[in-house]
Each structure stands twice: as C-alpha cells, then as structure tokens.
Amino acid sequence: MADASIRTPAFTHGESVPEKYTCEGEDVSPELTLADVPDDAASLAVVVDDPDAPAGTFTHWLLWNLPPDTVEIPEDVPRREAVSELGDARQGENDFGDVGYRGPCPPEGDDPHEYRFTLHVLDEELNVDAGVPRPEVQDELDAKSIDSDRFTGTFSRE
C-alpha cells in the first residue's frame, strides 16, 4: 500500500459503523472520500467485505471502473449495475445476492465483526460485466491493482 487513501466522514477508522449504514438501519452506503490517487491511475474500485463472517469472507459491495479523479462517492449509491452518476462505474453482486451495497448484518449474538472498505487503484479499467459476483472480479482486481488503501469499521447485533 502506498499513497492513495479512502475514508468516510460517517465514522472513524476502527470504530462502530453507524446503524444507518447497516441492515438494522437504512442499509445505504456511506459517503466515501478518496485522496492522493497516483497520476498513473486509470481507474478505481471499492470493495467492502467482512472477513469475520461464519462461512468465510463475505462481500458487501463491489464498485469498479470509477474515474481516477473521483474524490467523493456520495452516500446511498443506487443499487443498479451501471452507476452513471459516477462516470462509467459498475457494480457487482454482493454475497446477499443483490447488486450494489448491502451493509453490515452479522448474525445476532456474534462478537463485533470487522468491515473492510478497500480502495484499489488500477492501471486500467476492469474488463468484466456489471452484476457479476466477486470471484469473477477478483483476478482482474489483483492483476491491475497498483495501489490500495483500507479503513475498517465494526458492527454487531444483539
């Protein structure tokens, strides 16, 4: 990881994700701010996942082909494959089986889960169809990522 950064004004790195952005609230994506993207970036991608899920890492959001000059992803990104409000951005299928963002929703009674919000800086756009699940995106993400950054939040349900 190098210079690029991803954060949110909604909560502090490592702190609890506000209920609004979870299955207990409005279940909308938080505003994200991006900074210090390298000049050689051709595209950006964001992945939100839960490495503490009982069956292994659970994907909550796949968003890719964001323009490299993107500095803000607004709150409540529409749940559709193409997001014209963000240039040529595309969204994939999360592990709930939907397209777009679905917030933290760990099993009731579990210890707090960690949610990773990861920015990938890419040397070219991803050549994958919108609406596909993470396994169909991951190889291209790995191959084309030239920089990345991550922040985390936690959440639990009583």
Q: What pLDDT, on a 0 to 100 scale, did the predictor assign at position 158? A: 85
Q: pLDDT, tens digit, for every residue of 73-111?
A: 999 999 999 999 999 999 999 999 999 999 999 999 999
Range of the domain at 143: 5-155
Q: What is the CATH number of the domain that holds 82?
A: 3.90.280.10
Distances 86 to 1, 39, 112 between C-alpha atoms, Å: 24, 19, 32
Mean pLDDT across the stretch 45-70? 97
Whether the CB-CB separation of 60 and 48 falls below 8 Å is answered with yes
Q: How far apart are CA 92 and CA 130, in angstroms?
A: 6
In total, how many domains does the chain have? 1
Q: pLDDT, tens digit, for every residue of 1-35?
A: 458 999 999 999 999 999 999 999 999 999 999 99
Mean pLDDT across the stretch 30-51? 98
